[in-house]
Structure 1
């Protein structure tokens, strides 16, 4: 219909205008079939047992028994206290009324951090409280847990979905489907399997391959062009995983960068955090890797359609010129994405004034550098790999019969 022919056709798709030879097409699709089989076997072998997950979850509690998290409406927001850490009656507090959950109707005055007081919180907003039940004749006590942000987040999500559908139309719809599927794979397969102690590398490879098979074909259609991009993506995933394992071992990264790792180790038993870190490296590079490989495959296809008389080396060279530009812009994307998410950490490190060598000895900096560099190396190598695969699948130069 609109997105492309099935693989059984001699053409990669009705919009490609390129006849794909039977031999290279069979090799490409056969290789992907083997990769799909390996992925399915990996999913079956690594799929977590629901009963075991429930058993682990039952042994983990976020709060003490009897503690609940009611919702309250803000009645008054006091200004932040002038002296940090000092609690006074007329500053640093929020006056609320519980309107949902345990203690409904109770008035309460709870202390909040200064950043909450100055965040724009106002009367009528809703907050989550932590309610400790009565004990030894004492009344229930309340403390601030967080601000209810569901409304604005839903509006933001709705704006995102609508804009994607309006601008990208059917492609946008399929992309959203792929995004939901990816989330389900991570939430239903990868995270539970990792909690139960499965190999992080194996889980990362199986889950990432499953995501890429579905996302690429649903978003870009069943065509040989998409298959070439998928082959390049899977090769890039393997390279990124291998580089991540080597870099983790060489840098002696522990995989535990903050207190979250320690908590997870305590509640989930014996976990190989270096293996978990390898899985994180693979997942971190998926989105950008997918972007680069589909662009490269499409570029090669368009070059061949526009220049049927060009030799394979010429097509490869033209595709690589596009790829080099894409690599340059994508590397900036990766680096600035990290800088944006870790801006406050970077500011604090600058104030410390420690030598670069001392900073590199910290687990947080080492892990981010390993994750960023391993993903970037895999990305860079995926460009010539995908370009080469697409070029080999392409037919050779077509001579002009009138020449």
Structure 2
């Protein structure tokens, strides 16, 4: 699979290809070796428990009834508002009572599912602890399998319809990313391996597989790989320094606290750093691939560009990209932490105390470190790309203008194309403003315009 362009890019000089191979192949082999060393041979498994039986069912009837007053809480208080009471008739679709209709109480309480006739739901069978022979059904939640399948089909169809073969490759890269996360990163951290090291190795493995699978094996992709890997290492070092400077422990979220109860051997501080690395990888890929492609396209559009001109022009593209991506990162973290941010309006402490608390400082560190890694990725990848696309050519001025390369290559690459000669401005304006008469001669009988006529629309 080649580069993502409709036209073929100028071939990379063999000497440059050899240099890229010498740089990329050892890094890939080192990543494989590190992954094999860190790969959990016997990942811990959760202890077997007596799970409550769950069965599928369909709601056939809903009867609402007034809720009885609570003798402890006065009527009209917020705790009693919004309650719902009644019964639900459900047709059991699986389990020992399949095909039968059962009655369950209407779900009530915070987070309880809202059901209506026709809803497909999940039933749980609860056994009376005093009399095990007596059991009752309760509604646990909605069935979400079918909607998720339809969403996945729509997602895949849209990607393939727009991207075609490139879209298929992107879906393959997405599947590979989830496979590496599920089979290596998560089991490795659960097995007690250093989360930061596991995250960097796993992110590098994802990067190699996804970038080369999606964008093809080329010098342009190799530059993006090197830029992404360098930015990932820098992001990890910045995250380590920032979390130590702010004395973060990793217990800034309820999920982390709950995890510590079940897995006391997991390093939550390292887990926080691992989350920063994995979260930054997707955006880093976007930035580095864009910068590498921008430099290649600029070089193809104007072969007379010097290395410095390529770097400056592509950096301007990178600045615009970073300006939008920074907002994307902040909003992504804000959206994921929206309940956390809402607590700010209910907290009576001073703003300084809220901002410097661990749960909010953790989110600030995530956003800042990820942004710094992205900002560093632009000049790093752009400089590498400019070196690669101009390698093998002399940067001395020639007859073609500054950096005109009319002396030919000093390596073993092909001679770059000669820039088109300039056109006099007055001649161009005259040609654009002059319209030739349409050929409507009866002798020819042709209704087509003169083939030499300008096709510009007359205003």
The alignment's TM-score, normalised by the length of structure 1, stands at 0.87
- 5+ residue gaps, structure 2, are 68-75, 396-403, 408-417, 422-459
Q: Give the deviation of 1:77 after TM superposition.
A: 4.1
- Alignment partner of 2:54: what SS? coil
Q: Offset at 1:163?
A: 0.7
The structure 2 residue matched to 1:127, chosen from 121, 125, 128, is 121
Alignment counterpart, residue 312 of structure 1, candidates 303, 307, 314: 307
- 2:90 match: secondary structure: strand
Kindly tell me the number of residue pairs found equivalent between the two proteins: 387
User: Which residue matches 1:72?
Assistant: 57
TM-aligned CA deviation for residue 356 of structure 1: 2.7
Aligned to 1:20: 12
Name the structure, 1 or 2, with higher relative contact order (CA <8 Å, separation 6+).
1
Instruction: Give the 3 Å change call, closer, same or farther, for CA 358–74 of structure 1 in structure 2.
Output: farther
Distance in 2, matches of 1:92 and 1:326, equals 55
Structure 1 residue 88 displacement after superposition? 11
Deviations 1:352-388 (A, max 9, x none): 3543322223332122211111111101100110001
Q: Which has the larger radius of gyration?
A: 2
Using the TM superposition, give the Cα deviation of residue 262 of structure 1 relative to its aligned residue in structure 2, in angstroms.
3.1
Of stretches 187-196 and 100-109 in structure 1, the one that deviates more from structure 2 is 100-109
Distance 1:310 1:94 in 2: 73
Q: 1 or 2, which has the higher helix percentage?
A: 1
Whole-angstrom distance in 2 between the partners of 1:32 and 1:215: 15
| Structure 1 residues not aligned, in runs of 5+ | 5-11
8 Å Cα contact 2:299-2:389 kept in structure 1: yes
1:351 to 346, 352, 356: 346
State how 1:135-284 maps to structure 2 within 5 Å: 135-137=129-131, 139-284=134-279
Report the equivalent of 1:30.
22
Normalising by structure 2, we get a TM-score of 0.77
Please report how far the alpha carbon of residue 166 of structure 1 lies from its aligned counterpart in structure 2 after TM superposition: 0.4
Q: Which residue of 1 aligns with 2:400?
A: none
Displacement of 1:174: 0.2
Q: Tell me, yes or no, if the aligned pair for 2:102 and 2:137 is still in contact at 8 Å.
A: no
Paired with 1:325 and 1:384, the residues of 2 have a C-alpha distance of 13
CA deviation after TM superposition for structure 1 residue 130, in Å: 3.1
CA distance 1:30–1:107, change in 2 (3 Å): same
Worse-matched range after superposition: 171-180 or 368-377 = 368-377
Aligned to 2:448: none
Q: Deviations over 1:218-265 (max 9, x none)?
A: 111110001001110111111111111111111111112333323322
More off after superposition, 28-37 vs 264-273: 264-273
CA distance in 2, matches of 1:354, 1:387: 46
How far off is 1:16 after superposition?
A: 4.4
Shift of residue 59 of structure 1? 2.2
